[in-house]
Structure 1
Amino acid sequence: MVTRFQRYRQIGDVLVKYGFGILVEEFVPGGERLRGFGKTRKDDQSVYERIRLAIEELGPTYVKFGQIMSTRRELLPPEMVEELQKLQDRVAPVPYADIRPVIAEHCRNLDECFDIIEAEPVASASLSQVHRAVTRDGRILALKVQRPGIAELIETDITILRSLAKRANALFPDLRVYNPEGVVDEFVTQIRRELDFTQDGMNAERLGRNLADLPCVRIPRIHWDLSGPAMLAMDYVEGVRIDDVEAIQALGLSPGDIAATGFEAYVKQIFVDGFFHGDPHPGNLLVTRKGEVVFLDYGIVGVLRPERRRVFVDLLLAMSGTDVAGVISALKKLDVRIDPAVLDAVKDDLYVVLLDYRETKIEQMNFGTAIRGLTETLRRYRIRVPSTLMIMMKVIVMVMDIGTRLEPSFNFDQRIRPYLLDIAAAQRLSPDNVTGAMHSIVGAVESLIAIPGNVNETLKTLSEGTITLELEGHDLDEIVGVIDRTSDKIIVGVVVAAIVVGSSLVLRVADVPVPGYVSTLATLGYVFAVIVGFYAVYNVLRYSRGIRK
């Protein structure tokens, strides 16, 4: 078993070899002793190409990490994404003598279980390799067997990746917007799932049930009596890669029909079932002599809850209809947070992207251009996006690429829009939606019926004097001030009214002789009361207008 410090040394050696000595010095313990040694890169290799080559040499953990990061177009430059998409996890196979004990863990007596296990694997990847076998009862199987010691190596690499992400967060504050530690945590969850072949088999069976109604789609049957966490036994399927047009034609099949079958299968998985095969590279899709499209490798799957599916449908419809407001609305529903300060700029960029797509000649239209434009806009403004959205977009782009290889005139936009419109209509009238609407209506009616009772209860509480108000200190001060001002106005009003009444009585008394100065005082009091009254009315009107404003 490779220790953590040995692995650090290996990583440092590889990074220095490809010209990343500065990273070694910053991130790898003891890296300053390695920088500048072993540099063998070619000068004509771009930095992104060297990153890809270094990842391939670092082994399965980093290859898987690179493959997953290739879906995060909103985080990485397009040139880097393009290189990461070239990552291949095909490696030299482990000798059968090392693989045999893993098989024996799932079948104690191999001679009783199998007539034949071919020592030469039919496929070899970084986590596992596949051997063809024939059981005693005549079943022809493909045995997907985990490489010995791979789980321990990956756990060591996970510890190192988490440490590197933490250092990156501390050393480069600008990277925090991309949440390096969160990205690594997502990767850890994914690769641990891939190491559990039992989960792999359960994913296969769920896909098989969901796609059972499509006669030209096939998911190999899992044989659980010979399967476990480190080995998965399934039906062996003969076929050619889905991107091998000549081989498909040699079987007497139409590449256009194959493209249509694969397209329909993915539309159903994503938008109807909400559970889809997440790694549709051509090596994982085979075509049989019967024209069946066979899905292989179920470690990476996407999951979409019903409410998310509806939003994704709205998002794609808005993109295909150049509806920028609809795109922004759908992104918000997917918890994509856009800074209000850049919202207008984002809308402008999206409008140009969608306009360029719509104005392309119909025979050259490629919906992948619109998706890449969307993700590039998100990256430019450092907008974080849920990983499920990026996986779905990656799958759509890969399906489109395969479709155009099989049929150059394959037009994703024309094909998917009728599906999306039908799906949107069906979703809005689905039992779940109808049930939800009924619950909302019932809740609203119940609330309406409860209004008289609530009002009666409130009035009863008020009449009993048992109502309680909770006030904070500043609220109480404000209330006291209002009361003081109101009482002052009342006092002024009462005094003015008394003066008016008194002056009126004095001036109206004609029978009783009064001194002249009394009449003069009464007249002056009358005038004073009128002036104060007008002033008071003016203040009241001005205050009322201030409140309305």
Structure 2
Amino acid sequence: MFAGMRRYGQIADILVKHGFGIAVGELFPGLPHRLLSRGPDGREKGYSVYERIRCAIEELGPTYIKFGQIMSTRRELFPPEMIAELLRLQDQVPPLLFSEIRVILDESLPGWEEKFEYIDPLPVAAASLSQVHRGILSDGTVVAVKIQRPGIGEVIETDLLILTSLAERIERVFPDLRVFNPTGIVRDFSVQIRKELDFTRDGKNAERIRNNMSSIKGIRVPRIFWEVSSRRVLTMEFIDGVRIDDTESIRRMGLDSKDISEKGFAAYLNQIMVDGFFHGDPHPGNLLVMENGDLAFLDFGICMLLRPDRREIFIRLVHGLVTADVDISLQAFSDLGFSIPDEEQELFRDDLYLLLMDYSDYEVSQYDFSKVIIELSEMLRKYQVRVPGEFMRLMKVLGMVTEIALLLDPSFVFNRRVRPYLEEIMQEQYFSPDAIKKEIRTGISSLQALLRIPDQVNLALRRVGEGKIRVDIVADDIRRLQETIDRSTDRMTITLLISSIVIGSSLLIIASDTTIRYCGYIAFTGYAIAVIVGIYIISRAIRMARNSLHRRR
């Protein structure tokens, strides 16, 4: 409790120091006025409000830096100037002495000294949650050992409690901000950062992406050594390379940066749109180019999962945006759960139509998808649309990958590269064996429903005969009822016949790779028969409707 109160005081002091005393005073009206009257630090005179927000976040520590980095994906919530500052947040801190961090090794890996021949006391990288040391296992394998900072879990838990309290207080004090759902944002962030503290999950993510990427040439994901790993220590294969944004070093190694660009972009498209599980933090420090030209992925603390149904919707949305198809885009927005106020839906449709139409006349080489996303984000913010967090995180990943691709290959065009890929994926989705099996299951369910109709009709007639249902009918009603039943029975019989032909033909297509000859020809003959009979049923129904209308006249 005392630690929490002390932390509250530190946060208030930092915010006041950076010129946010008025906001602190409204959130905490009991604080003395003298504590709130201090202006921005002298070094920040002339800084914009967004620059001061960034400086305050960096001073508040790792929890708030991580929170700010995640908020940098929410372009629909904040103005572009603030997003630009949040993107500048640095998650770098001075490294701890090895004598301080070996406490975690002793607690998490008892007897670790027998399994390691050597661990370099100087870290190769240091961040707010952990630092990485180069090591050698007893069998001579060179590894990277990621070790969590002592006490960081307790610090983050305290900060999460304070963040939750602040979000609740903001919603009470500033009701207009409830539309942005501060408590929901903090709740999602709490789940995410707790996952990052579990290095076991980090390792499992790495293994999953390693398996998914195993068939793609030139992509490397480090192997995990579970026998020397735990919740707070992760030991993995050491990968040596240069940052992907170090174009000068890439050229010195004699590598083609355009090839690296293509390789990385294709890998991310495959992760997002095929696997549905992707590396969610593609900043240049997590992507290394090896001397042999392979691209290595590092740090899997942030990975994102897209269910197959959500993935299919997202693919449709991106396809709608890059082809400037308003109807597809709007339907995808709706399917993703975008919450647009009823009274503003038509205005939103108009603005989206204008946005996409502005880009529809561009040549492919002129089309800038990143600008579409920025303008779309500003439009969402204008209408205060509640957007699923996964959507904006996806957009951020695509944006970061596109920026890296452009850095390596200035001739890279997102639209030209992604459109054929999307069309190929969509074609595979609609005509894959799984899709056909799904349609067959749907057809069988429909047939079962149709087969239940006679029983339901008989049950209803039996109840009428038993007097359980009272109806008043006349002779004409009986005649029309009989005609209706006869027509329905005929149509149901023909419909069952067509459905059986379609299902049988589909099964033949699936079996076309077997030893049965001419399966494909038989299947397409069946489809042709079904189409002809279907046209006959439709024409007959139209003719009967016209005759019925003529009789009524």
* Corresponding residue for residue 18 of structure 2: 18
1:75–1:379 contact (8 Å) kept in structure 2: yes
Moved more, 301-310 or 53-62: 301-310
Alpha-carbon distance in 2 for matches of 1:5, 1:466 = 72
* Corresponding residue for residue 352 of structure 2: 350
* Corresponding residue for residue 63 of structure 1: 65
Please list the CA deviations of residues 361-414 of structure 1 after superposition, one character each: whole Å capped at 9, or x if unmatched.
654432111111112111110001111111111100001100111111110110
Alpha-carbon distance in 1 for matches of 2:12, 2:470 = 70
CA change 1:49–1:468 in 2 (3 A) is: farther
Match for residue 244 of structure 2 among 237, 242, 245: 242
The alpha carbon displacement at 1:38 in A equals: 6.6
Match for residue 75 of structure 1 among 74, 77, 87: 77
The amino acid of 1:247's aligned partner reads S
Please list the CA deviations of residues 137-186 of structure 1 after superposition, one character each: whole Å capped at 9, or x if unmatched.
10111111100000000000011001000001101111111111111000
CA change 1:382–1:145 in 2 (3 A) is: same
Moved more, 456-465 or 124-133: 456-465
Alpha-carbon distance in 1 for matches of 2:16, 2:362 = 45
TM-score, reference length from structure 1: 0.83
TM-score, reference length from structure 2: 0.82
The alpha carbon displacement at 1:108 in A equals: 2.2
The amino acid of 1:281's aligned partner reads H
* Corresponding residue for residue 328 of structure 1: 330
Alpha-carbon distance in 2 for matches of 1:433, 1:380 = 39
The amino acid of 2:20's aligned partner reads F
* Corresponding residue for residue 211 of structure 1: 213
Alpha-carbon distance in 2 for matches of 1:369, 1:468 = 67
* Corresponding residue for residue 290 of structure 1: 292
- Any residues of structure 2 matched to 1:8-47 within 5 Å, and which? 8-28=8-28, 31-32=31-32, 33-37=34-38, 39-41=40-42, 42-47=44-49
SS of the aligned residue for 1:233 comes to strand
Alpha-carbon distance in 2 for matches of 1:234, 1:29 = 50
The alpha carbon displacement at 1:115 in A equals: 1.9
The amino acid of 2:46's aligned partner reads D
Alpha-carbon distance in 2 for matches of 1:293, 1:349 = 40
2:405–2:412 contact (8 Å) kept in structure 1: yes
Task: Note if 1:6 corresponds to 2:6.
Answer: yes
Please list the CA deviations of residues 189-216 of structure 1 after superposition, one character each: whole Å capped at 9, or x if unmatched.
0000001010010000000011101121
1:239–1:287 contact (8 Å) kept in structure 2: yes
Match for residue 412 of structure 1 among 411, 414, 428: 414
2:464–2:470 contact (8 Å) kept in structure 1: no
The amino acid of 2:38's aligned partner reads F
SS of the aligned residue for 2:46 comes to coil
CA change 1:299–1:218 in 2 (3 A) is: same
The alpha carbon displacement at 1:29 in A equals: 7.6
Task: Note if 1:111 corresponds to 2:113.
Answer: yes
The amino acid of 1:418's aligned partner reads P
The alpha carbon displacement at 1:121 in A equals: 0.6
- Any residues of structure 2 matched to 1:97-496 within 5 Å, and which? 97-360=99-362, 362-467=364-469
2:109–2:230 contact (8 Å) kept in structure 1: no
Alpha-carbon distance in 1 for matches of 2:284, 2:2 = 33
Alpha-carbon distance in 2 for matches of 1:104, 1:137 = 21
Alpha-carbon distance in 2 for matches of 1:191, 1:468 = 65
1:12–1:31 contact (8 Å) kept in structure 2: no
Please list the CA deviations of residues 46-73 of structure 1 after superposition, one character each: whole Å capped at 9, or x if unmatched.
1111101110110000000001111111
Please list the CA deviations of residues 459-481 of structure 1 after superposition, one character each: whole Å capped at 9, or x if unmatched.
10121123499xxxxxxxxxxxx
Alpha-carbon distance in 2 for matches of 1:266, 1:467 = 63
CA change 1:341–1:29 in 2 (3 A) is: closer
The amino acid of 1:21's aligned partner reads G
Over aligned residue pairs, what C-alpha RMSD do you find?
1.7
Alpha-carbon distance in 2 for matches of 1:406, 1:2 = 51
The alpha carbon displacement at 1:458 in A equals: 0.8
Alpha-carbon distance in 2 for matches of 1:112, 1:352 = 67
The alpha carbon displacement at 1:103 in A equals: 1.5
CA change 1:236–1:73 in 2 (3 A) is: same
Please list the CA deviations of residues 489-516 of structure 1 after superposition, one character each: whole Å capped at 9, or x if unmatched.
xxxxxxxxxxxxxxxxxxxxxxxxxxxx
Alpha-carbon distance in 2 for matches of 1:156, 1:106 = 22
Alpha-carbon distance in 1 for matches of 2:360, 2:462 = 65
Number of residues of Structure 1 aligned to a counterpart in Structure 2: 469
2:364–2:415 contact (8 Å) kept in structure 1: no
Identical counterparts, % of pairs: 49
The amino acid of 1:235's aligned partner reads E
SS of the aligned residue for 2:329 comes to helix
Moved more, 64-73 or 97-106: 97-106
SS of the aligned residue for 1:92 comes to coil
Please list the CA deviations of residues 91-126 of structure 1 after superposition, one character each: whole Å capped at 9, or x if unmatched.
111111110111123332343122221111100001
1:427–1:433 contact (8 Å) kept in structure 2: yes
1:130–1:142 contact (8 Å) kept in structure 2: yes
CA change 1:153–1:29 in 2 (3 A) is: farther
Larger Rg, first or second structure (1 or 2): 1
The alpha carbon displacement at 1:274 in A equals: 0.3
The alpha carbon displacement at 1:352 in A equals: 2.9
The amino acid of 2:426's aligned partner reads A
Alpha-carbon distance in 1 for matches of 2:434, 2:389 = 26
1:91–1:126 contact (8 Å) kept in structure 2: yes
The alpha carbon displacement at 1:358 in A equals: 3.9
* Corresponding residue for residue 478 of structure 1: none
Alpha-carbon distance in 2 for matches of 1:135, 1:278 = 30
Moved more, 244-253 or 365-374: 365-374
2:19–2:38 contact (8 Å) kept in structure 1: no
SS of the aligned residue for 1:144 comes to strand
CA change 1:233–1:452 in 2 (3 A) is: same
Alpha-carbon distance in 2 for matches of 1:468, 1:286 = 79
Moved more, 171-180 or 430-439: 430-439
SS of the aligned residue for 1:3 comes to helix
SS of the aligned residue for 1:382 comes to coil
* Corresponding residue for residue 93 of structure 1: 95
SS of the aligned residue for 1:280 comes to coil
1:357–1:367 contact (8 Å) kept in structure 2: no
The alpha carbon displacement at 1:359 in A equals: 4.3
Alpha-carbon distance in 2 for matches of 1:435, 1:396 = 32
- Consecutive unaligned residues of structure 2, counting only runs of 5 or more, are 472-553
1:350–1:373 contact (8 Å) kept in structure 2: no
The alpha carbon displacement at 1:89 in A equals: 0.6
Alpha-carbon distance in 2 for matches of 1:462, 1:74 = 60
